[in-house]
Chain A
Amino acid sequence: MKVIGLSGSIVGTKTRVTVEKVLDNITDLNKEIEVELLDMKDYQLEFCDGRFYKDYTGDTRTVIEKITEADALIIGTPVFQASIPGALKNLFDLLPVDAIMNKTIGIVSTAGSSHHHLVVEHQLKPILSYLKGMVLPQYVFVEERFFNEKKEIIDGEILFRLRKLAEDVIDISKRMGKVTSSG
């Protein structure tokens, strides 16, 4: 089984740090699960213009294939203008309609204030539902104040919930038949 951690931000580090935390927990819980961080900052994607996905090349094609081939996803999003970043939305636009179908999806979100807690509920989840992902109902919303100056998460409750998210992604993937019983 392979889990991709998608950090959907092209600026800052908090979203990446949070996604990485979940991936570390997954590895810690089950060494047989392969994890990979896909940081959007590291890829120069094209804009989706309605082309067939196999007609894209380079980074764009690579990212589409990594997501399509993953068994489960951790999606991390910051909040831009009370919604998800355009760069992340563009990546969803690029995906074939069944790219994440039936894949377990855990969500983490970072933001500067508590006012943005519902952005995931209202802006991200509907898109993932349209793409037929098996989205875990509970997501972890991490406010800026839960990070220290070195951009490490310092809040015990948040760390606990990120651990729980990792457990849930493994557990639900198992039930979906994506983890072997020995794993």
Chain B
Amino acid sequence: MMSEIVVLSGSPSESSRSESVLKFIGSLLIEEGFSVTHISIRDLSKDVLFNGEFNSPTVKDVTKLIQEAEGVIVGSPVYKSSYSGMLKTLLDILPQDVLEDTPVLPLMTGGSSSHLLALEYALKPLLASLKGLNLKGVYLEDFQIDKTKINNPIIHTKALERLTKQVAYFTKIINSKQTNILL
């Protein structure tokens, strides 16, 4: 089934701050009337990912979902100053133009503000290499998130403002793209 927006969570952790934020963004988008599919890297077969089985049905399904999406949100915790290795094992086996013509909202969460540039230097170049059209993106610090608050895990007012603003840019681009197609 096709979804307008695909949310890809790159966190290997069972209880993840970045994933709680991504799910929150997903709920905002659903409220606005978008269809959303949430893909968690944890739900994919570890063997498929680790062994790079690019021909597996799982990878083909994920590829199709991403290719058909109007917009994609990619999130990762900062691990060792970069995106998670587990997320990269999936992106390694997707076609190299999988995000072509697709607005992409990158999101990262990290333990301190020192890792803010991981978004610029690690995640965004990777998404650009997959031909995605990067938005500015959002970086959140761990203390700004309470992952137990499922309805809205962002407990920091300014961080929430930044995030909702970026989501608004994202939907504006998707809506204008859809309008252009209709015209």
Contacts and interface: CB of A to CB of B under 8 A. Distances in A.
A80 B86 contact: no
Contacts of A89: 79-80, 82-85, 88
B87 interface: yes
Interface string A37-73: 0000000111111100000000000000000000000
A136 interface: no
Interface string B106-126: 000000000000000110011
Could you say which of A81, A123, A126 has the most chain B C-beta atoms within 10 Å of its C-beta?
A81
B72 interface: no
B89 interface: yes
Contacts of A123: 82, 122, 125
Contact of B125 (A44, A47, A83, A90): A83
A49 B80 CA distance: 12
B85 A10 contact: no
B143 interface: no
Interface stretch (B28-36, B48-56, B133-141, B166-174): B48-56
A168 interface: no
Interface stretch (A17-25, A28-36, A91-99, A170-178): A91-99
A154 interface: no
Contacts of A50: 12-13
Interface residues of B, number: 29
A131 interface: yes
A123 B91 CA distance: 15
B12 A95 contact: no
B129 interface: yes
Contact-residue bracket for chain A: 20 to 34
Nearest to B117: A126
B50 A10 contact: yes
A87 B89 contact: yes
B130 A81 contact: yes
B92 interface: yes
A49 to B, nearest CB: 4
B66 interface: no
Interface of A: 10-11, 44-50, 80-93, 95, 122-123, 126-127, 130-131
23 contacts: A11-B52, A45-B50, A47-B85, A47-B86, A48-B79, A49-B12, A50-B13, A80-B92, A81-B92, A81-B130, A83-B129, A84-B88, A86-B49, A86-B85, A86-B86, A86-B92, A87-B52, A88-B85, A92-B85, A93-B79, A93-B85, A93-B86, A122-B125
